[in-house]
Amino acid sequence: MSTATYTVTGMTCQHCVSSVTEEIEEISGVTGVAVDLPTGAVTVTGEGEIPAEAVREAVREAGYEVTAGA
């Protein structure tokens, strides 16, 4: 099991959180996504290593940007 935390900018509401969560959950191997709206921290848990670029692309697909993290 692996865990990585990213910082995502631009999220302002629960709908934003839902959009980011749904996109990341579509990545193969992801078993959990936890988003802290006030800090923008997004923690991704997976069965194995989840490629950082896959997470970045999923966040972009939701309309946001990863500014820091794995």
29-41 mean pLDDT: 98
Residue 69 has pLDDT above 80, yes or no: no
Indicate the pairing of strand 30-36 with strand 41-46: antiparallel
pLDDT of residue 70: 65
9-35 mean pLDDT: 98
Residue 3 has pLDDT above 70, yes or no: yes
- For the record, the structure tokens of 39 come out as 């800090």
Overall fold of domain 2-69: Alpha-Beta Plaits (3.30.70)
pLDDT of residue 6: 98
Average pLDDT of the chain?
Answer: 96
Residues 6+ apart with CB under 8 A from 64: 8, 9, 10, 11, 16, 19, 20
The domain locations on the chain are: 2-69
Residue 32 has pLDDT above 70, yes or no: yes
